[in-house]
Amino acid sequence: MKDSTLHNISLARFRSLFPSSPSVGLGDDFYILDARLEKSHQPMNHPCRFDGFMFLYCIKGRLKMNVNLTEFEISEGMVFMNVPGNIIRVNEIMDTPQEDVRYLCLAMSRDFTQGLKVEVNKLFNEGVSMLEKPTIQLNETEGKLTCNLIHHIVGLLQSEIPYKKESILSSLSSMFYILMGAWRVEALKREDDTKSVRSKVIFEKFMRLVSDYHTQYRNVGFYADKLCLTPKYLSKIIKNTTGRSAPEWIDSYVILEAKNLLKYSGITIKEIVYKLNFPNQSVFYKFFKARTGMTPTEYRNS
């Protein structure tokens, strides 16, 4: 089981990363942020585990975002969806004429999504692999409908009408169905794609297991046993599929978690050592520095 004590930044903390971006919402359970990323000021440049559902719609520019060690590019007209528990980071703001990126961000707590007239988790689990494809390019109709609904929700948030929350939830439900329809079409297209071969499936299962168990187990044998494979065969599949070895993927996930804890949790390094199941601080320091070029203290203070 995933360690529930691992640090998640709240919706309020995430919102505070964009102090100059206008936003409107319902307390800290739901808000819409008109966010801008500039090369001179780049929030989310350290890995963070966001404790909520998040939807990004790119208005202009391009950026590269890392989700659980996999990099995705987001450009104009594209949507990015994040589910609770993912570790995300903005890797790079790419060159644009305006030298910045603008996107609309909708963030909502787990409790808030319970009021949606749509089973969010069920939709994500049925044919939509958020690990494989958290981004999608909307066509003209989908983009227009999505923008209209976002602006409609902003109007509701700024109003004083009765049943405001219920009206917002209803509009969000409509938007989710439009987006999930787009993802489902994309998923059906990929069914015949070469990415669906057995090695790709094994890699995806391996990464889900690493996401769940990386704080407890760092040996390939544990994951091979879970997949009913030999360590040698699993290592070969992962290396041939990704160009990186299975231990490299496991270690990278541990480093990602360590960076998140160092930057956002405020807990001591001794506590981080315990959470990540290292025998002592010396081993953790050597592990971290060998893979980042910095000590944990240097990274925390950077």
How many whole angstroms separate alpha carbon 59 and alpha carbon 74? Answer: 10
The residues facing 34 across adjacent strands are 104
Length, in residues, of the chain? 302
How many whole angstroms separate alpha carbon 49 and alpha carbon 125? Answer: 20
176 Cβ contact list (under 8 Å, min separation 6): 116, 118, 120, 123
Question: What Å distances lie between residue 283 and 9, 183, 221, 254, 276, CA to CA?
Answer: 27, 43, 21, 13, 11
C-beta separation of 13 from 96 below 8 A: no
45 Cβ contact list (under 8 Å, min separation 6): 89, 90
pLDDT reported for residue 33? 92
Closest CA to 95 of 64, 136, 138: 64
The residues facing 103 across adjacent strands are 35, 58
122 Cβ contact list (under 8 Å, min separation 6): none
The residues facing 25 across adjacent strands are 31
Q: What would the two tokens of residue 295 be?
A: 């000590």
Question: What Å distances lie between residue 294 and 69, 276, 297, 301, CA to CA?
Answer: 19, 18, 8, 11
pLDDT reported for residue 140? 92
How many whole angstroms separate alpha carbon 117 and alpha carbon 50? Answer: 23
**Reduced to 3 states, what is the DSSP secondary structure of residue 63?**
strand
How many whole angstroms separate alpha carbon 208 and alpha carbon 249? Answer: 12
pLDDT reported for residue 230? 93
C-beta separation of 118 from 108 below 8 A: no
| Residue 159 burial (10 A CB sphere; 0-12, 13-18, 19+) | exposed
- DSSP state at residue 182: H
**Reduced to 3 states, what is the DSSP secondary structure of residue 90?**
strand
pLDDT reported for residue 127? 41
pLDDT reported for residue 128? 46
How many whole angstroms separate alpha carbon 44 and alpha carbon 35? Answer: 12
pLDDT in tens, the chain (302 residues): 344 456 778 888 888 888 888 999 998 899 999 987 766 666 777 888 888 888 899 998 888 888 887 888 888 999 998 888 788 887 766 655 555 788 899 999 988 988 887 765 555 554 445 556 788 899 999 999 999 999 999 999 999 999 999 999 999 999 988 888 887 777 666 655 554 467 878 888 898 899 889 989 999 999 999 999 999 999 999 988 888 899 999 999 999 889 988 988 888 999 999 999 999 999 999 999 999 999 999 999 98
- DSSP state at residue 35: E
